[in-house]
Chains A and B, each alone.
Chain A
């Protein structure tokens, strides 16, 4: 009896998550959603066609947006790897730096961005790709730092010492020791930072001055516009892009690691 109760509690929670997601997909592929219908009358690609054809610049904006978020994620991973390496050890003032790294998660980014706007204008970073790249990296970076700090602590010193013993120094050390050990972290940090960047709206519009268009800024006006199908298909495309980027990154990192091992064998 208790068991049944617990299982049904969990099932309800799971349904709370799954049903809305399934509904999102169903609506995006639907047509004919007159009021009392619970699900659309027929299967259709109409709303996807709308995204492609009614928005002539949609494809180029999406591509540009993927480039921007990949750049944000790459920069965050690089800075995060370094910071994680530093924070896994001990030094004076470490606590202060740890707190500082958490600041972007806790302080209102909206407020900081409005304060920063004038600095970006003076430095000619506003309304530019670089400016948006910088501000988005600030938001994504803490996630990368947290992941790499934990990972470095988990790995410990032993493998690096082992590598030193075998003469893996300089770029060889990075290629054959550091990179393979960190590969899981690189994949997940890149994925999280990409999603964080890809879903930014406010800072992109503020710092980009409306001139830097991303997938998120393009879909924003449709989000509460009343057309279930269009907003749902935007959302599905959004999620598919994020999942695909994660897979692409996984393939790239894995093949890089494998190539490293092959060259050792030779």
Chain B
């Protein structure tokens, strides 16, 4: 057998596994959203479910809520992550201990982070106790309700706490190799530290920063657990709303759930296209060099 064919065969079990589940699941969600659901006797193709779902103002609010929480947490998280990995790189000698501590949240799953955020930010929680104890507030009633509100604070806090350590983990080695190669050159050419950071480090790390943000956004946009536990009653995050429609005792409501699911998948596909574009442009640049 040719060596290249053999290489491909090695990947087949995993390919069959992932394609067989992800593609089949996505395919069924799509056909059900167009009203083809023979198991309960729905066989007419229709866009009725999309029209009805998209005409609800509530769904628009759900979309905005999901988008806002995912966007803010990944942008702020990646921002903090980039700055801290840069700081770690520029002072890397005695900072190994910092790096160890900053890596901890990567191993802490989201549902545990929900407990952490709850302990800190509920109105009778740690932060409120600190403020009351130090006399800045008189009672917990003055502490704002941060969780379970449409501000999405709790959800954003959870994803943020996961995002910046993840960014550090991914970016640290990249920034370090940039730093070793280009720092002396930049200094030699008279760049100041902030100029070096803005005009050398950031542009070179941009593709990595973008792909990291996309992965973080995609996850927080479509995960169920965190907005279910810490989100508002109205509006609900898209995955939460989809599951409510899915579990409705009226089986004819399932296509509504699937229409929301397809909306979420379309967003994911746009992200995948961007991811693909960014990572292939990196490869092209590497090939030119």
Contact = CB atoms under 8 A, between A and B. Distances in A.
A115 B264 CA distance: 13
Interface string B199-227: 00000000000000011001101111100
Interface string A215-249: 01001100110101001101100110010000000
Contact of A231 (B80, B102, B115, B223): B115
Interface in B121-171: 122, 124-126, 129-130, 132-133, 140, 147, 161, 164-165
Interface string A111-135: 1111110110000000000000011
Contacts of A85: 7, 10
A100 B25 contact: no
Given A18-B101, A100-B15, A202-B225, A114 B22 contact: no
A97 B102 contact: no
Contacts of A41: none
A170 interface: no
B21 interface: yes
Nearest to A142: B18
Contact of A27 (B25, B119, B224): B119
A93 B9 CA distance: 12
Q: Looking at chain B, what size class is its interface with the partner chain?
A: 35 or more
Contacts of B39: 118
Interface stretch (B45-53, B55-63, B178-186, B239-247): B239-247
A25 B44 CA distance: 56
Given A110-B242, A201-B111, A232-B115, A6 B90 contact: yes
B84 A116 contact: no
Contacts of B30: 115
Contacts, number: 252
B116 to A, nearest CB: 4
Interface string A70-105: 000000000110110111011111100101110111
Nearest to B272: A106
A199 interface: yes
B21 A135 contact: yes
Given A91-B4, A223-B115, A110 B224 contact: yes
A109 B219 CA distance: 9
B205 to A, nearest CB: 18
Interface stretch (A8-16, A56-64, A254-262): A8-16
Given A223-B111, A232-B119, A239-B112, A90 B4 contact: yes
Given A220-B111, A223-B114, A20 B119 contact: yes
A111 B18 contact: no
Contacts of A266: none
B262 to A, nearest CB: 7
A115 B84 contact: no
Interface in A31-82: 35-38, 79-80, 82
B218 A10 contact: no
Interface string B91-121: 1000100100110110111111011111110
A24 interface: yes
B17 A137 contact: yes
Contact of A195 (B107, B272, B275): B107
A108 interface: yes
B36 to A, nearest CB: 12
A80 B84 CA distance: 32
Contact of A3 (B12, B91, B268): B91
Interface of A: 3, 6-7, 9-11, 13-14, 16-18, 20-21, 23-24, 27, 35-38, 79-80, 82-83, 85-87, 89-94, 97, 99-101, 103-116, 118-119, 134-135, 137-138, 141-142, 145, 195-196, 198-199, 201-202, 216, 219-220, 223-224, 226, 228, 231-232, 234-235, 238-239, 242
Please list the 7 inter-chain residue pairs (A to B) with the smallest Cβ-Cβ separation, ordered nearest first: A86-B10, A199-B109, A108-B222, A111-B261, A115-B29, A112-B25, A86-B11
Interface of B: 3-5, 7-15, 17-19, 21-22, 24-30, 32, 39, 80, 83-84, 87-88, 90-91, 95, 98, 101-102, 104-105, 107-112, 114-120, 122, 124-126, 129-130, 132-133, 140, 147, 161, 164-165, 214-215, 218-219, 221-225, 229-230, 239, 242-243, 246, 257-258, 261-262, 264-265, 268-269, 271-272, 275-276
